[in-house]
A and B are shown apart, each in its own frame.
Chain A
Amino acid sequence: MRRKDLLDLYSLDRSEIEYLLDTAESFKEILRRPVKKVPTLRGRSVANLFFEPSTRTRTSFEHAAKIMSADTYSLAGSTSSLVKGETLKDTMLTLDAMGIDAYVIRHSFSGSAALAAKYVPNKPVINAGDGTHEHPTQGLLDLLTIREVKGKIDGLEVAIVGDIAHSRVARSNIWGLTKLGAKVRLIAPNTLMPAEASTLPVTIYNNLKEGLDGVDVVNILRIQLERQNEAFFPSIREYAKLFGVNAAKLSVAKPDVTVLHPGPMNRGVEIASALADDPNYSVITDQVTNGVAVRMATLFWLMGGTD
């Protein structure tokens, strides 16, 4: 099936996800070249609309588009007409009228990417994170990284630890992983568990040790420190003690357990600094590399032909 947009992993089927992962894997060869440029998207334009702060995702998308020879425009919330009160609709219509060919959107409202996609009926929109809904390219890069390390996804036990309630990364991971045959566990205090957790295809743990027992992969989510005053947990220190992951706490996991973190990290809070840097466990920098490849694959998929 031909798709216009990439808004979530929830609506993709297994073969589409695998096509994107295979294509991204092929694109990694380009990242190792001395001249990192292919002419595939020459003469086409991509607008990066980031209504929420981001360094790695925005740079990663821009780098991916530039490697493919597309022209890129970065629009940040604070420097655009949005501060003058322009609506998302008018922003999209304006850029569409200029002839921009594709859009990458990050916005703090869930569903905003899908809304933006409706305003540009003939142009691809890629969701780069919408509120607490999804962040599909992050999900894809996590899948690619896990598949690279483990050689497969089918049958793996994958734990997601941390602020799941507010995490679009967690949702994209849950859908992507389960579609490819992994078993997903969520580990968090109940205050950070999403309300709909019991309806998801996951197993729920409130205890870190129990949740990590026998897992192949741990994906550790960022604790959003700015939410601390909302009292989801009593203190940073208590969270770090009960749910912060370090090498000792991983002793109950599989001996070859792999650790992922989508960044930015709070070292010493959700992840021990030594663990983040330990090459026996951590694939955090591989995730960043794979992010560029996955975004190249996404642009290629959506901006390509019609067959």
Chain B
Amino acid sequence: MSGYNFENMTPSSIVLDDEEMRRAWTRVAHELLERNRGTENLVLIGILRKGAPLAERLKQSIQRIEGQEIPSGVLDISLYRDDFRTYQPKVGTTNIPFDVEGKKVVLVDDVLSTGRTVRAALGALNDLGRPAVIQLAVLVDRGHRELPIRPDFVGKNVPSSRSEFVRVSLTELEGRDTVEIFRER
């Protein structure tokens, strides 16, 4: 989020390549449908930036599996972060073209770690209405939680130490699909 300098780190090891990412994320789409018993009232909200294309992919998988198009939106959380005073974020635009009131909302993000981004997203969502349920889908869970937050759907668990960094690259933004681990030099 705050732009780590990966240049100063050791070469990465790849945790997920494009094929593995595709399979893991398709599985998450199936799990999501199973848990929610179909698509009724189901909506996807991607946390900017990387949650947005990941939500879009889930939407397409669900359309393929169920033949149903479900609503999706994007959420900017920079105004809700608790570390606003220590760095200056580039603010994105929230675009949720439906009412979240009473919906089953699945929040989507790339990496879950401390849980602070998710806490901010819950605050942002709360200002837009009162969903019936909020669930959390992440591509990578790397641990190190600082808040009582847990994911409902996980693409891959990546146990990592605090001195390591996880980088998710997505075709829509970076031109390739990979999850890598970096270590500080």
**What residues make up the interface of A, taking CB atoms closer than 8 Å to B?**
19, 22-23, 25-27, 29-30, 33, 35, 37-40, 68, 300-301, 304-307
Contacts and interface: CB of A to CB of B under 8 A. Distances in A.
B125 to A, nearest CB: 12
Contact of B127 (A19, A22, A33, A307): A33
A306 B80 contact: no
A301 B94 CA distance: 19
B91 A39 contact: no
Contacts of A27: 91
Contacts of A307: 2, 86-88
A39 B86 contact: no
Contacts of A23: 90-91
A40 B84 CA distance: 8
Given A19-B90, A22-B91, A300-B79, 14 more contacts: A23-B91, A26-B92, A29-B94, A33-B127, A35-B127, A37-B127, A38-B79, A38-B127, A40-B79, A40-B84, A300-B91, A305-B84, A305-B89, A306-B86
Given A35-B127, A38-B127, A304 B88 contact: yes
Most buried by A among B2, B79, B85, B90: B79
B88 A39 contact: no
B93 interface: yes
B124 to A, nearest CB: 8
Contacts of A33: 127-128
B157 interface: no
Interface size on B, as a range, is: 20 to 34
A254 B87 CA distance: 44
Nearest to B92: A26
B95 A29 contact: yes
Contact of B86 (A37, A300, A301, A305): A305
Contacts of A68: 79
Contact of B85 (A29, A38, A305): A305
Q: Is the interface of B mostly helix, strand, loop or mixed?
A: loop
Interface string B73-101: 00010011001111111111111000000
Interface of B: 2, 76, 79-80, 83-95, 123-124, 127-128
Q: Which 9 A-B pairs give the minimum distances between C-beta atoms? A: A307-B87, A305-B87, A38-B79, A40-B79, A26-B93, A26-B91, A305-B88, A304-B88, A305-B86
A12 B127 CA distance: 34
Contacts of A40: 79-80, 84
A207 B20 CA distance: 70
30 contacts: A22-B90, A22-B91, A23-B90, A26-B76, A26-B92, A27-B91, A29-B93, A29-B94, A29-B95, A33-B127, A33-B128, A35-B128, A37-B127, A38-B79, A39-B79, A39-B80, A40-B80, A68-B79, A301-B88, A304-B87, A304-B88, A305-B83, A305-B84, A305-B85, A305-B87, A306-B86, A306-B88, A307-B86, A307-B87, A307-B88
B141 to A, nearest CB: 27
Contacts, number: 53
B77 to A, nearest CB: 10
Nearest to A38: B79
Nearest to B120: A39
Contacts of B87: 304-307
A35 B129 CA distance: 9
B29 to A, nearest CB: 28
A19 B127 CA distance: 25
Given A40-B80, A307-B2, A25 B88 contact: no
A37 B126 CA distance: 11
B111 to A, nearest CB: 20
Nearest to A67: B79
Contacts of A38: 79-80, 124, 127
A147 B94 CA distance: 20
Contacts of A306: 86-88
Nearest to B127: A35
B79 A25 contact: no
Contacts of B2: 307
Given A26-B76, A26-B91, A39 B85 contact: no
B130 to A, nearest CB: 11
Nearest to A25: B93
Contacts of A30: 79
B95 A304 contact: no
Nearest to B124: A38
A200 B88 CA distance: 34
A37 B127 CA distance: 8
A40 B93 CA distance: 15
